[in-house]
A and B are shown apart, each in its own frame.
Chain A
């Protein structure tokens, strides 16, 4: 700073190598090596080359081998510049971080991707149900669905046509529950969900949409 303050700050006399960024120190010290290529090949539906290519991209972004939630949110937000993708990224993070460790390892990442890209439709639907079921109790309540829907609408941002009204997510949730909740008990179970989705051609078709992503 100019002009320098006088008397000089006492830290000026301290040993200059002690800095205060201990927060970063923790994560950079921790390193995670993934399981071997053979084990991952057995656990997922990817070929060896695909796993290699995936790991190269993963390692490039996260040299420590772990993705924490903040990094995940940052990465995901880059794809949605107009809106706020952090809340949805949070739910997505929890869907991938199966052991609730607070960080995604490469194994979690690749197993999740394997389900999404190479799994059967039932597995994909199960994954989606797991995503919506925030507290992982096996039931999707209206509040959970509301949170998910709000986060999806947040990703659209302000400048949309038509404009996102405050009750747009609510209406959407109502439609969803009308469709999915067969016995009208206010929650959607996994069976109701899978059954309803299997009857919907639209949804079944869109599940196959991302077959050739890798």
Chain B
């Protein structure tokens, strides 16, 4: 139960007087407060700083240190205060939790010291209020990750039982693990750089004899370049095969981006080897050489930044897509307009709308090459509008994308959307658990309390102490309130499983069987009657005796309907733990614990009289068992 709501419990209990006139049954006895003391101030001295609060405030949460008798261990007799040798700054939050019912987590506080204080005072950290919960969870996760990273650094020491394959894979993934891996890392990096530079230099015109045309170096030193290329491709091939061999899951490795880049980088060479003698496809072969430039992407294994850039581009796909889409729209619009505006002028370069695309793109990105310029006045007007709008269309989404990049870079460490969903689910789960908790507490204490009552019929002080030790006064008052409601409506609270269970049993009852159930019924009645006869009970005060035999017999026909059925199924219903204990022991507890409430309780009905309509009158669905108690009505 929430803290502040506990203050309203007296009100709720007082308002229960509204149920009394309509109640069918007498009410249970109210739990008494053994030593009712006036609310007093208590002093909590935390490392010298004194906090004062009401005792009731602390009693709101009886399962914490301050709310239970555990704090008596810290009581200082001379100064009449409770002394705690803990951090006073964090204690402020703890005490506010008692006052307001909400636990807050201050940002400046270290997460581990805060959690230690909470653990000391017996407060679970899950009940931190929603306002501070996100922050708390973030910090906790960061802390956990930091600890995990520390552990992983220690774990990088070579494990004794790794196979050669696993060692190789680890060497490939983390170059820092061994010198061999580091060497390999640098060698491959070097060769990637060499390969890329080779491709570039190949096309540079080298000096040649004056009478000949300038030829690119690649043509001049064909052999040298070919050897260099071969060497690089061999290194890359070996590397790829080694990675393929070492990969724990080859299929997954082959599907990964990096391996595709590797393959694309070396494939042109092999295709070129195969195709050199076929002159027809040499054009295609030349195109293939373009793919050699993909070797530069192999650098992303060497650079974390490149990988993050790739990832952020992928995440910003929607913004980029929208940028592209809006640009396309604008280009088409302006190209059409320019085409029709320039149609009239002679020797216009705007020969078609697609031809105007080039002009529009160059103008909107404010490049302005000048190879296509409008000549008509209308063309110039629209051209200027085009360049102005180009600035706007491009400049607006760019800051959004940039800010996304920086945000994603930080969020790269945490999974954002998934976490938000988990927090929402966790929050709902917490609310549901706390709600179930309070109803479960009542049912739980009901069974416990009844067992306690069943053991002894005379109440003693130790009995009461045993009862109140398990539940605080507040809880017992709350349970008493719920008990009163049960009595008012003559129905009991049960938990869901029990309800389903008894629902099933009721379903089982619906097949008629003629087995005589009198004996068993008598047996049950006998037990109750014998117990009942021990107790003193006054006759019904309300002398409308014959008047309410009607409902009794009416109920009895129902009961008979049930009695015709198989005995096996009656037993679980009437001898179920809570119901039988409830019904049989109620009179016992009633009569021994209070002198005020004296009313006859007639349990299980009188010996059955078979009626013909009993059979036909089978209840379907829920059980019609409200026969057990008939009292003053």
In the complex, which range does the number of interface residues on chain B fall in? 35 or more
Which of A13-21, A26-34, A120-128 is the contact stretch? A120-128
State whether A206 touches B26 (Cβ < 8 A).
yes
A128-B489 in contact given A3-B318, A212-B36 (Cβ < 8 Å): no
Partner of A81, one of B56, B404, B435, B631: B435
In the docked arrangement, what's the CA distance between A152 and B21, Å?
13
Closest CB of chain B to A127's CB: distance in Å? 7
| Contact bitstring B533-548, A, C-beta under 8 A = 1, else 0 | 0000000011010010
For residue A175, CB closer than 8 A to chain B, the reply is yes
| Contact bitstring A154-196, B, C-beta under 8 A = 1, else 0 | 0111111111110010001001101100000000000001000
Quick one: closest A residue to B323, CB to CB? Answer: A6
For residue B495, CB closer than 8 A to chain A, the reply is yes
In the docked arrangement, what's the CA distance between A213 and B22, Å?
21
Quick one: closest A residue to B579, CB to CB? Answer: A161
Closest CB of chain A to B463's CB: distance in Å? 20
Quick one: closest B residue to A160, CB to CB? Answer: B491
Closest CB of chain A to B128's CB: distance in Å? 20
A49-B623 in contact given A2-B416, A201-B632 (Cβ < 8 Å): no
Quick one: closest A residue to B12, CB to CB? Answer: A79
State whether A172 touches B625 (Cβ < 8 A).
no
Closest CB of chain A to B335's CB: distance in Å? 23
State whether A128 touches B435 (Cβ < 8 A).
no
Closest CB of chain B to A175's CB: distance in Å? 6
For residue A117, CB closer than 8 A to chain B, the reply is yes
| Contact bitstring B476-500, A, C-beta under 8 A = 1, else 0 | 0010011011101101111110110
Quick one: closest B residue to A207, CB to CB? Answer: B20
A81-B17 in contact given A209-B30, A210-B30 (Cβ < 8 Å): no
For residue B199, CB closer than 8 A to chain A, the reply is no
State whether B489 touches A205 (Cβ < 8 A).
no
- Chain A neighbourhood of B24, CB < 8 A: 172, 175
| Contact bitstring B30-52, A, C-beta under 8 A = 1, else 0 | 10110010110000000000000
Partner of B492, one of A78, A160, A197: A160
State whether A82 touches B439 (Cβ < 8 A).
yes
Closest CB of chain A to B567's CB: distance in Å? 20
State whether B495 touches A159 (Cβ < 8 A).
yes
- Chain A neighbourhood of B489, CB < 8 A: 152-153, 156, 164, 168, 172
State whether B596 touches A53 (Cβ < 8 A).
no
| Contact bitstring A48-88, B, C-beta under 8 A = 1, else 0 | 01000100111011000000000000011011111000000
For residue B531, CB closer than 8 A to chain A, the reply is no
A205-B596 in contact given A6-B322, A113-B11, A160-B491 (Cβ < 8 Å): yes
State whether B21 touches A210 (Cβ < 8 A).
no
A193-B30 in contact given A79-B9, A160-B493, A201-B599 (Cβ < 8 Å): no
In the docked arrangement, what's the CA distance between A213 and B39, Å?
14
A4-B400 in contact given A161-B494, A168-B489 (Cβ < 8 Å): yes
State whether A109 touches B11 (Cβ < 8 A).
yes
State whether A124 touches B8 (Cβ < 8 A).
no
Quick one: closest A residue to B315, CB to CB? Answer: A3
Closest CB of chain B to A33's CB: distance in Å? 19
Quick one: closest A residue to B582, CB to CB? Answer: A161
Q: Which of B571-626 contact A (CB under 8 A)?
A: 578-579, 596-599, 621-626
- Chain B neighbourhood of A161, CB < 8 A: 491-494, 498-499, 502, 578-579, 623, 625
A residues apposed to B, CB below 8 Å: 2-4, 6-8, 49, 53, 56-58, 60-61, 75-76, 78-82, 92, 95, 109, 112-113, 116-117, 124-125, 127-128, 131-132, 145, 148-149, 152-153, 155-165, 168, 172, 175-176, 178-179, 193, 197, 199-203, 205-210, 212-214
23 A-B pairs in the complex with CB atoms less than 8 angstroms apart: A2-B416, A2-B417, A57-B4, A57-B8, A60-B4, A61-B8, A78-B5, A92-B18, A95-B18, A109-B11, A125-B21, A149-B22, A152-B19, A156-B486, A162-B623, A162-B625, A175-B633, A200-B542, A201-B598, A202-B25, A203-B21, A209-B30, A213-B13
B residues apposed to A, CB below 8 Å: 1-2, 4-5, 7-27, 30, 32-33, 36, 38-39, 54, 56, 99-100, 316, 318-319, 322, 396-397, 400, 404, 416-417, 435-436, 438-439, 478, 481-482, 484-486, 488-489, 491-496, 498-499, 502-503, 541-542, 544, 547, 551, 578-579, 596-599, 621-626, 631-633
